[in-house]
Amino acid sequence: TRTQVAIVGAGPAGLLLAHLLHRSGIESVVVDNRTYEQIAGTVRAGILEADSVRLLVDSGVSGRVLTDGYRHDGVVLRFDGVNHRIDFQELVGASVWLYPQTEVFIDLAGRRGVDGGDVRYGVADTAVEISGDRPTVTCTDSDGRAGRIEADLLVGADGSRSICRHAFPPGAREEWFREYPFAWFGFLTEAPRSHPELIYTRSEHGFALISQRTPTVQRMYFQCKPTERLADWDDDRIWAEMRRRVNGNGFVLREGPISAKSVLPFRSFVTAPMRYDRLLLAGDAAHTVPPTGAKGLNLALADAAVLAEVIVDYYAEGDADVLDRYTERVKERVWRAQHFCYWLTTMLHAVAGASPFDIERQRGELALITGSRYGAAYFAEAYTGWRQSRSV
Ligand code: DHB
């Protein structure tokens, strides 16, 4: 197959890019080693910034986020057993939408289908080659046939364990990396909402997050050890752990049967430049954030929007140097989000062996955010997403 842009990874970054390129008359082929059902069935992120919602709606992916999603005008930061609401609308005039990544995927995949896009799920043995005349992707299609895709450009939107990233020659990019001594244990529960909005909780027993999916299905997380084993956590033990972190002062979790348990990796990672020759990286392949703050999906969508524009310019100007604009245009957003996720993580998590000073300082930091209009506005602006048009 010959195409203009070969895209590895049919997650939000890869599929949105394919959609936006199609709208500009540029064709692409997308491959993913996961099946459609695997991608649609894996519980991932849940929060979209206003700009992400606008992007999905205005570019014609789907308006379903507006009808099936839930607008949230604030969140709660809970510490020392007390809820502190951050009012996004009042502070910065913005909202976020609770709309699961799995639904974003279904919308994007559906739109590609309607538009006749070439998206190949369930491929195996994917390999990329960028040293020849044109970048190529080889793989075994789901029907067992060998596939070979030759393209003008190759985009790695293949997640944090990207194979495309490893096609950069040694020394062609830098890496920035940070690990954390904890992870998140995530699960779904069949229960009514415990609260109208999300609650990010700091407790002496560690962090917990109460999120949602629908009126009858809730998503929750609690801080755990990176080595935690799912088999050691039955429903009773999970609820006992959640209760001791969040219940109190009249707040009581609504409990139910638990499913979709997983331990989420926790790290901060950036690589740059995000381009080498005709290979570009987008989304988690280029940068990973810890989940606190819900920025990963939003960054992936923002990357795709910028990359689509840069690729359009590349074809218009016929000059490969145009591709360098991509890293230049996205790196500030990436590092702001890196800082925000790191900051929120360190403010809300319990670290084994923390000194009494560190613990009190953490409380002071939370009080600065929740007890000050400016502190709260700083948080609200970051959480809802920095507006594209706002210059700093
Ligand atoms: C969800 C995940 C997050 O990491 C977060 O900060 C908020 C919500 C979620 O899955 O609902």
Domain CATH code at residue 279: 3.50.50.60
Does 30 share its domain with 123? yes
Pocket of ligand 1 contains residue 211 by CB under 6 Å: yes
Pocket of ligand 1 contains residue 294 by CB under 6 Å: yes
* Six-digit token string for 25: 């008359």
* Six-digit token string for 299: 């960054």
Is residue 197 one of the residues assigned to a domain? yes
Catalytic annotation present for 99 = no
Closest CA to 276 of 162, 159, 166, 177: 166
**Predicted confidence (pLDDT) at residue 389 exceeds the cutoff of 50:** no
C-alpha 292 – ligand 1 centre gap (Å) = 7
C-alpha 359 – ligand 1 centre gap (Å) = 24
Confidence of residue 391 (pLDDT cuts 50, 70, 90): very low
Q: CA 257, CA 223: separation in Å to the nearest integer? A: 20
Is residue 360 one of the residues assigned to a domain? no
What domain range includes position 206? 183-264
- b/e for 38-66, b at 16 or more Cβ within 10 A? ebeeebbbbbbbbbbbebbeebebbebbe
- Reported as a single tens digit per residue, the pLDDT across 222-246 is 999 999 999 999 999 999 999 999 9
| Residue to mutate (ligand 1; options 207, 211, 284, 292; most atoms within 8 A of CB) | 211
Q: Which of 19, 22, 72, 349 is catalytic?
A: 72
Ligand 1 atom closest to 98 (CA): 11
Q: CA 127, CA 133: separation in Å to the nearest integer? A: 16
Does 220 share its domain with 304? no
ipTM field: 0.99
Which residue type, as a one-letter code, is found at position 245? R
Is residue 357 one of the residues assigned to a domain? no
- Reported as a single tens digit per residue, the pLDDT across 34-58 is 999 999 999 999 999 999 999 999 9
Does 159 share its domain with 297? yes
Does 302 share its domain with 321? yes
C-alpha 152 – ligand 1 centre gap (Å) = 37
C-alpha 243 – ligand 1 centre gap (Å) = 19
pLDDT over 70, % of the chain: 99
Catalytic annotation present for 72 = yes
Mean per-residue pLDDT over the chain, rounded: 97
Which residue type, as a one-letter code, is found at position 271? T
Is residue 392 one of the residues assigned to a domain? no
Does 274 share its domain with 254? no
Does 253 share its domain with 308? no
* DSSP H helical ranges for the chain: 12-23, 36-41, 50-58, 64-68, 88-92, 101-114, 235-246, 296-317, 324-348, 356-370, 373-384
**Predicted confidence (pLDDT) at residue 378 exceeds the cutoff of 80:** yes
Q: What is the pTM of this model?
A: 0.97
- The tally of domains found in the chain comes to 2
Domain boundary, last residue among 208, 238, 264: 264
Pocket of ligand 1 contains residue 219 by CB under 6 Å: yes
pLDDT at 387: 76
Is residue 135 one of the residues assigned to a domain? yes
* Packed helices 324-348 and 356-370: angle between N→C axes, nearest 10 degrees: 110
Q: Does residue 187 sit in helix, strand or coil?
A: strand
- Reported as a single tens digit per residue, the pLDDT across 282-325 is 999 999 999 999 999 999 999 999 999 999 999 999 999 999 99
- Reported as a single tens digit per residue, the pLDDT across 149-166 is 999 999 999 999 999 999
Is residue 376 one of the residues assigned to a domain? no
